[in-house]
Structure 1
Amino acid sequence: MKYLLPFFKKYKKESILAPLFKMLEAMFDLIVPLVIAKIINIGIANGDRAYIIKSFLILIAMAVMGLLSSFTAQYFAAKAAIGTSAGLRHKLVEHIQSLNFAKLDEIGASTLITRMTADVNQVQNGVNMFLRLFLRSPFIVFGAMIMAFSINFKISLIFAAAILVLFVIVFGIMFITKPKYKIQQNRLDTVTETARGNLEGVRVIRAFGKENDETDEFKTQNSLLARMQITAGNIGALMNPLSYVTVNTAIILILWFGAKYVNSGILLSGNVIALINYLSQILVELVKLANLIVLLSKAVVSCGRIGTVLDTESTMDYGDVTTPDGGYAVRFENVSLKYHEGGENSLTNISFDVKNGETIGIIGGTGSGKTSLVNLIARFYDATDGKITFMGHDIKTWEKGALRSKIAVVMQKTQLFAGTVRSNLLYGNKNASDAELCTALKSAQAEEFVRQKDGGLDAVIEQGGRNLSGGQKQRLSVARALVKNPDILILDDSSSALDYATDLAMRTAIANLQKKPTLFIVSQRTVAIEHADKILVLEDGHLAGCGTHKELLENCGVYKEIYKSAEGKEDGENE
């Protein structure tokens, strides 16, 4: 709630006016049974048609005023609820952007999606209904009871008993269902994660014929969610029948005792009708109050889940260094990396240094730690042990913005955003001119296919680059990185979908840039890195070799094996 209140306070006026107009509507509702009672007791009993018409016009006027009050209240309540949830959602996005990769991995993408959509919507609905009903429903319930006592004290004791029973029903069901809603939301996280995995991996699933297995897995997770929802729903469904049984029993008792009092002249028939109307109002409002409590229970659970994310703090601290201090561009000193506490090392005791402007190749088998190593250079993760020096300073002392401004990373999994070629490239530098964009495209060997597309730089890119081939996506990602004009450029296996000629042309163009960056190339191909100034060979998270292509062929068995394997593939392809 501490995160919700700051946004809620921005709508003080709406938060006051909404319940006030609802109270005004409630006052009209409470007066209606008295007017009806007078119509019966005076107008109908005396055959006074003029009094009946006058009272009927009063009822219409109150209905119109009540309707206007209701519309006004709902407008202010909706404005406050939507504004509050929008602010909360912005806060969530801002906080998520501040978290380091380790924390994002710990929370999970599906959980974050659920928090930002379903949970925020639950909070929005809870705020909306709270402003509309938290004063109106209790006011109607107790107001109707007071009005009933003003009519007849003895019969009104039935009201008090009925209200007590209804409160036990409402709060008892709420107490039972509240923990189930929390479990239900957690189940929703799992279903979202399963669906997300299926959508992202649909090509692989179909390639291996695993559609039925994934369908069965989704059915299992969805069934668990459905069972939890049905269980909570069945318990919640008891509220209406139990409430109606209680109220109808009270109505029968009122009619029974009311008939006796009417026959004995203690009570007028119109007053009996008024009592029944008040009881009906109590029923309606208690059902609304019950639904409000259930909705608020869900909103409180969702608010707690959102708070869990907002309470999660980044484990990375940054310093205030903004300028290089000479020395090596990057230096690793006995660096190790462990992603999870208690897990195995992904990197162990890695040491090397890189001078400004050098080209560094990184090679190794699948799972050898290549991506983990370049993630440390960009400080997506912090080393578990050892020290990393970046441009003369400990990497942990750099200011976050200054560090990021000097590094551009083309990740192993290319990511393009829905928009245009231009909008995607401007992620690298929002102030880049068209000439700079075209230069970057040319260096990344993407100029030709972009020019052929309708609109050129303004050609439409679908979410994730679905309307592009794998090679086109990789080249656009490289161009986006080049637009940034970085001091350090990391290409994490970003040419795997390119043919050798295009890959060579792109690497040559990058090497001939006016401002040549310090280049890290992660690749499975020895041909892509054999001209590098230095090659790092990784095996099971250890540095198996470090040197030039020629040196490694002479004294690094792992590199020699990779090279021979690549040679065999190339010969096979040439044949």
Structure 2
Amino acid sequence: MLNTLRKSIRQYKKLTLLSPVLVTGEVIIEMLIPYLVGILIDNGIMKGNMPYIEKWGLILLILTVFSVAFGMGASYASAHAAAGFAANLRKDMFYHVQDYSFENIDKFSSASLVTRMTTDVNNIQIAYQMSIRIAVRAPMMLIVSVVMSIIISPRLSLIFLVVAPVFAILLGLIIKAAYPYFPKIFKGYDQMNQVVRENIRGIREVKTYVQEKPQIRKFEKASGFIYKLYATAQKIMSLNSLVVTAVLNITNLAICWFGAKEIVGGGLQPGQLISMFSYSNSVLFSLNMLAMIFTQLVVAGASGRRIAAVINEKPTIKDPRKPLKTVNNGEVVFDHVNFKYDPSDKAYALKDINLNIRPGETIGMIGKTGSSKSTLVAMIPRLYDVMSGAVRVAGHNVKSYDLKTLRDNVAMVLQNNVLFSGTIKDNLKWGNENASDEEILVAAKIAHADDFIQEMPDKYDTVVEQGGNNVSGGQKQRITIARALLKNPKILILDDSTSAVDTHTEREIREALAKDLPETTKIIISQRIVSIKDADRIVVMDEGKIQDIGTHEELMKSNDLYSSIAKFQEEQGK
């Protein structure tokens, strides 16, 4: 974990190293001041020597200024180093997620990834800042304070040798008791973020079905789970302050008792006793800081493992060593393809799929819900990889292609495609960032999106609200079809992507695709027979298998499943 995280420090190494150096200077001066104050009291104040008091008073003032300067520098260096480290961690995780396959994404929920990039990184940032400042300051204060105490009075310093181990043992027991709660707390954050994410994304459905109260109960349950765990952990950790207070009071009483005897016996000066009190407080304060650091490190340790898991996750789909950079045509061949989402699953999502699709051919695909139609086409751009068998495009296994090349030549339009914040033109340019206005216009006309875009206030410069809420479902689908067309793909996959479009407009889109993209292989998945009846061939799928292949007329005569769907839809007027 540490090796993974430290790679993200990068350009902040100098600030990371500078902070301990400045802290060292700060602590040395700060710990020297009580010793000098004791000398000032014994040789200046107790003897009424004003020149001596003025001289050492000035020296103490200068040392204080230097200590403050070193402290401010250390704070600046540690804060900037920690903030930069956190920014790099977020960047590294985000960049790494971009290389994930769907299989990798399925392993981490989206809510969990958000939690790891926010809450977990914040925990690491706090721990890192403490590590390069307080974690250096506390042990140095402890060591220097003990050394100075020994210099002043070896006999009184023995008190620390008794108290410090007891204090450390008590704090260790407290931390050990609290530690198991923190990994559970972060899992609770994942659950709560999932509830919030689902509620916000589906807020229209929530209000439509009047499900506000059940949603509130779900949130309260997730939030309450975190509260209970966190409250329990904090109750345990709050014992730190009780231990610190008790040990500090006992130590000061011991120093008062034995120190008074030392003064009466002539073995200690009053100023030295005051210095001992200062070093006593410093010793216990440093131990308390160490306890606080250990507490934060416990939290950060759980967060660090979650972050490292994201960064260390190996993408299951990678570019080959010598990838093909050109897709010559839109031929697609499924050769004895088998696939399941989880290797431990007993059932296959796809079972022995064999299908040859010629370049420029239009293939319709239909089947019951859950028959793995979408899973099948996801194999073409390698959103998933087959478990066995092979998928070939233009005569080559898809695993032989450069991923960018392959996916630039395979355009997928899904039923629930997403529009991103920005203008309509910005969204269209996802298909081709260098597309000219003329190319955008042509693609929009083929997708029958130009008509309604022209009626918008700013036409192609109209701003799309978050999630595309200011356009209808059918309009959103037509924009995403136009976006796909701008890729000028060899293979176009329409996965139920006209379900929100009226049948008349859908027919016009199909006719435009056939006319303007004759060489593009088109795979149309639909639940409506009317959407695929004019395809060159229609694939009927059932339970992950290809049940039948043929034209509309052939399947109406030979396939009971297809003909029953067609007759039912005809009776319903679909």
TM-score normalised by the chain length of structure 1: 0.94
Pairwise CA distance, 1:409: 0.7
Q: 475-484 or 58-67: which moved more?
A: 58-67
Distance 1:240-1:476 versus aligned 2 partners, 3 A rule: same
Q: Number of matched residues? A: 570
Distance 1:59-1:422 versus aligned 2 partners, 3 A rule: farther
Distance 2:163 2:397 in 1: 72
Secondary structure in 2 matching 1:185: helix
Distance 1:455 1:169 in 2: 68
2:514 aligned partner: 511
| 2:460 is the counterpart of 1:453 | no
C-alpha contact (below 8 Å) 2:366/2:525 kept by paired residues? yes
1:532 aligned partner: 535
Pairwise CA distance, 1:555: 1.4
Distance 1:174 1:490 in 2: 56
C-alpha contact (below 8 Å) 2:364/2:538 kept by paired residues? yes
Distance 1:98 1:198 in 2: 28
| 2:165 is the counterpart of 1:164 | yes
Pairwise CA distance, 1:515: 6.2
Aligned equivalent of 2:393, options 387, 390, 395: 390
Distance 1:310 1:570 in 2: 52
Distance 1:157 1:458 in 2: 78
Distance 1:10 1:343 in 2: 49
Distance 1:227 1:462 in 2: 38
Q: 196-205 or 70-79: which moved more?
A: 196-205
C-alpha contact (below 8 Å) 1:324/1:392 kept by paired residues? no
Distance 1:132 1:382 in 2: 48
Aligned equivalent of 1:350, options 330, 350, 353: 353
* Alignment deviations for residues 383-426 of structure 1 (CA, whole Å, 9 cap, x no partner): 23333221111222222122112111112221111222222222
1:16 aligned partner: 17
Aligned equivalent of 1:335, options 334, 337, 347: 337
Pairwise CA distance, 1:20: 0.7
C-alpha contact (below 8 Å) 2:359/2:519 kept by paired residues? no
| 2:261 is the counterpart of 1:245 | no
* Alignment deviations for residues 263-297 of structure 1 (CA, whole Å, 9 cap, x no partner): 33321211111111111122222222211111122
Pairwise CA distance, 1:146: 0.8
Pairwise CA distance, 1:324: 4.3
Q: 63-72 or 270-279: which moved more?
A: 63-72
* Alignment deviations for residues 412-457 of structure 1 (CA, whole Å, 9 cap, x no partner): 2211112222222221111111221222222222223333334333
The AA in structure 1 aligned to 2:535 is A
2:326 aligned partner: 323
* Alignment deviations for residues 190-241 of structure 1 (CA, whole Å, 9 cap, x no partner): 2222322233333334444443333323322322222211121111111111
Q: 352-361 or 181-190: which moved more?
A: 181-190
Q: 82-91 or 149-158: which moved more?
A: 82-91
C-alpha contact (below 8 Å) 1:145/1:160 kept by paired residues? no
Secondary structure in 1 matching 2:7: helix
Query: Within 5 Å, which residues of 2 pair with 1:413-562?
Result: 413-513=416-516, 516-562=519-565
2:300 aligned partner: 299
Secondary structure in 1 matching 2:24: helix
Distance 1:87 1:314 in 2: 20
Pairwise CA distance, 1:317: 4.7
Distance 2:442 2:67 in 1: 67
Query: Within 5 Å, which residues of 2 pair with 1:101-250?
Result: 101-250=102-251
Q: 388-397 or 146-155: which moved more?
A: 388-397
Q: 472-481 or 456-465: which moved more?
A: 456-465
Secondary structure in 2 matching 1:408: strand
Q: 438-447 or 211-220: which moved more?
A: 211-220
Distance 1:554-1:80 versus aligned 2 partners, 3 A rule: same
C-alpha contact (below 8 Å) 1:169/1:243 kept by paired residues? no
Distance 2:25 2:239 in 1: 32
C-alpha contact (below 8 Å) 1:88/1:120 kept by paired residues? yes
Distance 1:288 1:349 in 2: 63
Identify unmatched segments of 5+ residues in structure 1: none
Pairwise CA distance, 1:514: 5.4
Distance 1:370 1:6 in 2: 42
Secondary structure in 1 matching 2:4: coil
Distance 1:314 1:135 in 2: 38
Alignment RMSD: 2.1
Distance 2:537 2:314 in 1: 38
Pairwise CA distance, 1:151: 0.9
1:375 aligned partner: 378
Q: 205-214 or 218-227: which moved more?
A: 205-214
The AA in structure 2 aligned to 1:524 is Q
The AA in structure 2 aligned to 1:285 is S
Q: 430-439 or 250-259: which moved more?
A: 430-439
Distance 2:68 2:450 in 1: 63
Pairwise CA distance, 1:106: 2.1
C-alpha contact (below 8 Å) 1:321/1:399 kept by paired residues? yes
C-alpha contact (below 8 Å) 2:259/2:268 kept by paired residues? yes
1:568 aligned partner: 571
The AA in structure 1 aligned to 2:78 is A
Q: 49-58 or 375-384: which moved more?
A: 49-58
Distance 2:387 2:493 in 1: 22
C-alpha contact (below 8 Å) 2:41/2:271 kept by paired residues? yes
Distance 1:259 1:507 in 2: 99
C-alpha contact (below 8 Å) 1:325/1:393 kept by paired residues? no
* Alignment deviations for residues 244-279 of structure 1 (CA, whole Å, 9 cap, x no partner): 100111001111111222233321211111111111
Aligned equivalent of 1:399, options 375, 397, 402: 402
Distance 2:528 2:39 in 1: 94
Distance 1:184 1:160 in 2: 37
1:267 aligned partner: 268
Pairwise CA distance, 1:533: 1.0
Distance 1:334-1:12 versus aligned 2 partners, 3 A rule: closer
Distance 1:230-1:296 versus aligned 2 partners, 3 A rule: same
C-alpha contact (below 8 Å) 1:510/1:516 kept by paired residues? no
The AA in structure 1 aligned to 2:224 is S
C-alpha contact (below 8 Å) 1:504/1:528 kept by paired residues? yes
Pairwise CA distance, 1:53: 4.2
Distance 1:413 1:343 in 2: 29
The AA in structure 2 aligned to 1:113 is V
Pairwise CA distance, 1:98: 1.7
Distance 2:496 2:55 in 1: 85
The AA in structure 1 aligned to 2:484 is A
Distance 1:505 1:282 in 2: 82
Distance 2:337 2:551 in 1: 22
Secondary structure in 2 matching 1:332: strand
The AA in structure 2 aligned to 1:329 is E
Identity in percent? 34
Distance 1:458-1:64 versus aligned 2 partners, 3 A rule: farther
Distance 1:271 1:444 in 2: 88
Secondary structure in 2 matching 1:4: helix
Distance 1:343-1:417 versus aligned 2 partners, 3 A rule: farther
The AA in structure 2 aligned to 1:331 is V
Distance 2:568 2:53 in 1: 101
Distance 1:58 1:434 in 2: 74
Distance 1:426 1:59 in 2: 67
Pairwise CA distance, 1:101: 0.8
* Alignment deviations for residues 163-197 of structure 1 (CA, whole Å, 9 cap, x no partner): 22222233332233233222222222222223222
Q: 198-207 or 186-195: which moved more?
A: 198-207
Distance 1:353 1:43 in 2: 100
